[in-house]
Amino acid sequence: MFEMESYQGRFLGHTALSNIVWVLLLAFAWASSTVASAQSCEDMWSRLSEGINDGVAALAVFDDGSGPALYAGGPFFYAGGIEAQSIAVWDGVAWSPVNGPMGESLNGTVDALLVYDDGGGPALYVGGRFTTADTIPATSIAKWDGTDWSPVAEAGSTGLENFIYTLTVFDDGSGRALYAGGIFPDDTGTNFYGVAKWDGSAWSFVTGSGGGYVDRVVRGLASFNDGTNPYLVAYGDFLTIGGVSAPGIAKWDGAEWSPLDEVTGLSTNGHIYDVFVREEDGRDVMYLGGGFSAVGAMEANGVVTWDGASWAPLIDSGINGVDGDVNGFGVHDDGTGEALYVGGKFRFAGGKFVNRIAKWDGESWSALEGPDGTGIDGNPLTTAGSIISHDDGTGNAMYVGGFLAVAGGYCSRNIARWGCGGQVCVSDCDRNCQVDFSDYLCFQNKFALGDAAADCDGDGDLTVFDFLCFQNSFQECSTH
């Protein structure tokens, strides 16, 4: 990246001819509505307008009656340059706040999003650390129907005290119900529950004979069937839950809590940050990701599977797992078949450079490489955590949220799109997340120096069409 003084100096030292060329080319480009490009449409990283100003903790797709749209939640205040308190919706072109009739959203952080129908129609359920929704009292959880916010609470209550970190749906034999995980005080305020159930009209705590108390926070929930019985799986920072020793992860069968692996009692030797369940060969397989290196004596770096009876690491070419934390999972079909995608803080998977996100096809890892970079880059805190597949009108793609600085070489601001046909802001030449006159100077410098970064249209040559491509991108990025 060039410093401002550097490319200004070079710009002023260029011949008058180069400036005349700029004027002629830009005039032609302004009149042109399309740009010739030799590059075919291929999967690559692209941005969602100006991105989001802080981390994205959760993603969900919800149809409020006007079509499916992507919702993002987290500790942010702005999305696409507009004010959006902790939750925003992307329609394929721009971000919008999720405000009710009073013009307000939530007054705190969002940690979980889930689409669920409790009998009153599908709605988006939002969990986190807030006390009001559109000025209405709503403690830790609220429901958005596309027009209005409302609390999820029985009469005389406003929700669940303390924090909700996760939401899921589970059937314990009495019908599907909404479950929330976090940490909730009992009547004395000295003991805490970790999981609560909403039956459509009232909340109850998931207790069992052990009382249901948890010694630390429940951060995630998932539904799992081991082939004989369905279970609600809870994971987090806890060591005990419901009076049962179950470090990091436990299961609820509708009556009692028990360790996930009841035979050996084994679990990972570090924190579990996410669990993802998918059907493989007719049965559920659970993927566990986190900051661990083993299950018992078995090496398992960052990711491991559980099928209800045994553990298995993900090994590619003899190399076990990934070289850092795993924070999220998702499933996406890029046109070659559905596959698992894994995100986190790791740089290598199976010994291959992948840069914080990778595709697992059941046998091997592969990187998400675009024309301008691999995976997601940034500082050591950069994390890919929330992953979801969605078609926002520009084609089916995968959306990744977290603490993201750069995706595929371009500024992403905490959320990015992987797929064909997205908005790629190649005109942000100096990669500072702003499109302004300094980018013209930067691009002219790189073109004059023969830098491959000036090959805007990706055809392998630096030609007049790269100027046209740059100008078109500049207009598009300035519009959004």
- CA gap 287, 326 in Å, rounded: 11
Specify if 235 maps to a domain. no
Chain centroid to CA 207: how far? 31
Residue pair 436/7 in contact by the 8 Å Cβ criterion: no
User: pLDDT for 356-390, tens place per residue?
Assistant: 999 999 999 999 997 778 999 877 788 999 999 99
> Which residue range is the domain that position 480 belongs to?
1-40+435-480
Report the 10 Å Cβ neighbour count for 16.
7
Residue 13 falls within a domain, yes or no? yes
Higher-confidence residue of 402 and 120: namely 402
Specify if 29 maps to a domain: yes
- Mean residue pLDDT across the chain: 88
Q: Please tell me the total count of domains within the chain.
A: 1
Q: Considering the domain boundaries, does residue 187 fall inside one? A: no
Residue 450 forms part of a structural domain: yes
Q: What is the pLDDT of residue 431?
A: 67
Residue 195: closest CA among 212, 170, 175, 173: 212
User: Does a structural domain hold residue 228?
Assistant: no
CA distance 410 to 404: 11
pTM: 0.87
User: In this structure, is residue 460 part of a structural domain?
Assistant: yes
Query: What is the arithmetic mean of pLDDT over 145-159?
Result: 95
Chain-centre distance for alpha carbon 417: 10
Confidence of residue 405 (pLDDT cuts 50, 70, 90): confident
| Cα–Cα nearest to 4, from 475, 459, 436, 448 | 436
Query: How far is Cα 417 from Cα 412, in angstroms, rounded to an integer?
Result: 9
Q: What percentage of the chain carries pLDDT values higher than 90?
A: 69
Instruction: For 119-148, write each residue's pLDDT tens digit.
Output: 889 999 999 999 999 999 999 999 999 999
Q: Is residue 468 part of a domain?
A: yes
Task: Label residue 156 exposed, middle or buried (CB < 10 Å: 0-12, 13-18, 19+).
Answer: exposed
d(CA 205, CA 457): 57
Share of the chain above pLDDT 70, in %: 89
Spatial contact of 382 and 403, defined as CB atoms under 8 Å apart: yes
Please indicate whether residue 227 or residue 88 has the higher confidence score (pLDDT). 88
